[in-house]
């Protein structure tokens, strides 16, 4: 699972950063080309750098009431593979970008003139968006050009600074927005958020599986209008200095100091690049702060400038720090080599090594140091960049639930170790495992969940995209003396169906802990088809984003979705990210029983006990479950 709460601002300007909200910002091609050539607000569009904004179209006349996923599925169904989608549902149009011109042109031919829900779609080329930093600067210059403009701008700026307060308060609000909220209140807010997710899931099940309505009616009555019980949120054992991984931006400080290492006050698309030190933030460990301070001192002694996402010039980009409870620290330095000679880069690496092993940087107590060459993206790929080992151990190690784990630079490991123990313990409680069980650990990272359960089951099979993490997982299984664990590297949608079909165990439980976007639909469809898989535990770092996964697990059988649906039977939030609004959500799904007669009998008996009278239309609805049920009249309750 990707840690949303802790994903900190990156120095990379992604295509998302330059997509703004209003269609009015789309300028004619001549304007875009003219300003781009002149180095204006379209300067980011360069022939040798990748941005999908170059390959953008506008789809017009979309049907009413469609959502992002409806549009994505529609495009995929017709062989169109978008890179990014920005939907404006009220205006019934969308911007769609592609990885290259060929895919864009193919999409235009396929979609233009196509009919969708009685609407004939129209497609036209769309223009790239203005760089938000340059656009903001241009607006400020224009404002200052007017009469008394400079005075007004200065007065406005002073007012803003006065309103926002000191920098330590501003950065606390940016990265830990609940820092001044009592922890009990934080937990209540997070539990309320998860309750809202379950309310939506309840509606989605009702809309997409009419045969489940009798069961859903009883569940809503039992569990305060929810499809399943929501158990009390489990708090994090620690509320401060809990992060074991932080990504720090390198840039110009908000206080004017050059080469500052810390967090951005805002996002690039909001027009802000100012960086503030993490020294007074509550969620960063003292070990990480010490590394930041030492590294900042080092880069200020070098002749190399910080990288500018505005001009693409400069070198220092990012510092990632990983720490563990056994006092090991890994630092990963991201550097844009630009046109430096190899000898200069090697000398820089030697200086880094000397500084942290023999010089003033020894106080940082780094046990593993890596160097990453991070140039401009020239394609749409998202592969992990190669890490060059500079000094120290190749890994750091962590202990979790009495087990030992090694962690590589790119490997996923939950960012709050004590709270991860709470999370994984809950997963183990809910899984109902025995010595005949087989566990499928999907998106397993370094193997933490599967390895923590291995001694209780017959076999654990892990699936993970990151090769480094798979190697770590194998080493972790061996280090903990486990022989009933195996790991497969690849995309879950490619590997999972094959692995699942090969499992012959009568007691199969799947545990999925995917990135924030959720699982690929192919994985969900494979889970549905595997009738011998009766139980699924879904660990979601962003339950709202995973809603389509939840719905597809529960929706009625169709030509696309085969296999009996699942039902949600338990849900709970676990707080891994104190001082923020984020938390992990666990949902337990179980395969729906085949015999519907018992459900309907229990449902009818319940109505009798409650003295609820339904007319013939309502009874016919629940027995036959037509696609469009008639309206229920003359009832003494709302269903």
Instruction: Answer yes or no: is pLDDT of 522 > 70.
Output: yes
| CA distance readout (Å), 356 to 278, 294, 298, 370, 419 | 20, 8, 9, 12, 31
Q: Identify the residue with better confidence: 364 or 606.
A: 364
What is the pLDDT averaged over residues 426-443?
94
The tens digit of pLDDT for each residue in 483-503 reads 999 999 998 888 888 888 888
Q: How far apart are the first and last CA of the chain?
A: 36
- Among candidate residues 76, 71, 115, 109, the one with its CA nearest the CA of residue 93: 71
What is the pLDDT averaged over residues 617-622?
45
Tell whether 414 is in a known binding site: yes
Tell whether 513 is in a known binding site: yes
Instruction: Answer yes or no: is pLDDT of 635 > 70.
Output: no
Instruction: Answer yes or no: is pLDDT of 17 > 50.
Output: no
pLDDT category at 342 given cuts 50, 70, 90 is: very high
CB 36 within 8 A of CB 43: yes
Instruction: Answer yes or no: is pLDDT of 380 > 60.
Output: no
Running DSSP on this structure, what letter comes out for residue 284?
A: B
The tens digit of pLDDT for each residue in 161-206 reads 434 688 889 999 999 999 999 999 999 999 999 999 999 999 999 9
The residues that are catalytic are 541
The tens digit of pLDDT for each residue in 440-454 reads 999 999 999 999 999
- Cβ atoms within 10 Å of 558's Cβ, excluding its own: 8
What local confidence, expressed as pLDDT, does residue 33 receive? 39
Instruction: Answer yes or no: is pLDDT of 399 > 50.
Output: yes
The tens digit of pLDDT for each residue in 47-84 reads 556 677 888 888 988 988 787 878 888 898 888 888 88
d(CA 562, CA 210): 16
Instruction: Answer yes or no: is pLDDT of 32 > 50.
Output: no
Tell whether 471 is in a known binding site: no
């Amino acid at each position: 699972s990707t840690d949303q709460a802790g994903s900190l601002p990156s120095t990379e300007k992604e295509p998302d950063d330059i997509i703004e909200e209003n269609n009015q910002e789309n300028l004619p091609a001549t304007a875009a080309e003219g300003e781009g050539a002149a180095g204006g607000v379209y300067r980011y569009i360069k022939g040798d750098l990748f941005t999908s904004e170059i390959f953008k179209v506008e789809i017009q006349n979309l049907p009413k009431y469609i959502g992002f996923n409806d549009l994505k599925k529609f495009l995929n169904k017709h062989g169109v593979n978008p890179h990014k989608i920005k939907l404006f549902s009220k205006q019934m149009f969308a911007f769609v970008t592609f990885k290259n011109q060929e895919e864009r042109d193919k999409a235009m031919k396929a979609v233009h003139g196509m009919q969708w829900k009685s609407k004939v779609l129209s497609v036209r080329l769309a223009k790239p968006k203005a760089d938000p930093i340059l656009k903001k600067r241009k607006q400020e210059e224009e404002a200052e050009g007017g009469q008394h403009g400079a005075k007004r701008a200065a007065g406005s700026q002073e007012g803003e600074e006065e309103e926002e307060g000191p920098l330590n308060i501003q950065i606390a609000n940016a990265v830990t927005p609940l820092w001044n909220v009592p922890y009990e209140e934080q937990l209540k807010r997070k539990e309320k958020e998860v309750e809202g997710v379950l309310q939506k899931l309840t509606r989605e099940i009702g809309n997409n599986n009419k045969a489940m309505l009798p069961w859903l009616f009883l569940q809503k009555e039992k569990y305060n209008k929810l499809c399943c019980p929501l158990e009390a949120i489990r708090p994090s054992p620690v509320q401060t200095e809990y992060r074991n991984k932080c990504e720090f931006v390198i840039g110009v400080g908000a206080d004017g100091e050059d080469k500052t290492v810390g967090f951005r006050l805002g996002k690039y698309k909001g027009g802000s690049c100012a960086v503030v030190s993490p020294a007074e933030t509550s969620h960063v460990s003292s070990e990480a702060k010490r590394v930041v301070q030492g590294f900042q001192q080092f880069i200020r002694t070098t002749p190399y400038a910080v990288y500018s996402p505005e001009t693409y010039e400069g070198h220092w980009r990012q510092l990632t720090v990983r720490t563990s409870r056994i006092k090991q620290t890994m630092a990963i330095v991201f550097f844009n080599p630009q046109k430096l000679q190899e000898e200069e880069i090697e000398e820089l690496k030697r200086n880094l090594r000397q500084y942290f092993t023999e010089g003033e940087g020894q106080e940082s107590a780094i046990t593993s140091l890596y160097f990453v060459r991070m140039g401009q993206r020239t394609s749409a790929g998202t592969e992990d960049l190669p890490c060059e080992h500079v000094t120290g151990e190749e890994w750091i190690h962590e202990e979790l639930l009495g087990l030992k784990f090694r962690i590589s630079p790119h490997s996923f490991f939950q960012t709050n170790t004590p709270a991860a123990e709470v999370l994984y313990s809950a997963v183990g409680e809910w899984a109902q495992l025995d010595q005949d069980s087989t566990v499928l650990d999907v998106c397993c990272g370094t193997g933490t969940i599967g390895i923590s359960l291995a001694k209780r089951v017959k076999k654990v099979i892990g699936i993970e995209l990151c090769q480094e993490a798979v190697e770590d997982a194998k080493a972790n299984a061996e280090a903990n003396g486990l022989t009933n664990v195996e790991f497969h590297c690849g995309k879950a949608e490619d590997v999972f169906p094959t692995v699942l079909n090969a499992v012959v165990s009568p007691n199969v439980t799947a545990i999925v802990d995917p990135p924030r976007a959720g699982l690929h639909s192919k994985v969900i469809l494979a889970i549905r088809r595997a009738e011998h898989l009766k139980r699924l535990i879904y660990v979601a770092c962003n339950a709202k984003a995973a809603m389509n996964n939840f719905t597809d697990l529960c929706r009625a059988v169709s030509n696309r979705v085969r296999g009996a649906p699942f039902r949600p039977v338990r849900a709970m939030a676990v707080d891994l990210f104190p001082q923020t609004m984020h938390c992990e959500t666990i949902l337990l799904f179980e395969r729906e029983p085949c015999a519907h007669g018992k459900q309907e009998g229990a449902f009818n008996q319940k109505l009798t006990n409650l003295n609820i009278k339904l007319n013939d239309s309502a009874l016919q609805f629940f027995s036959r479950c037509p696609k469009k049920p008639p309206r229920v009249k003359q009832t003494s309750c709302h269903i």
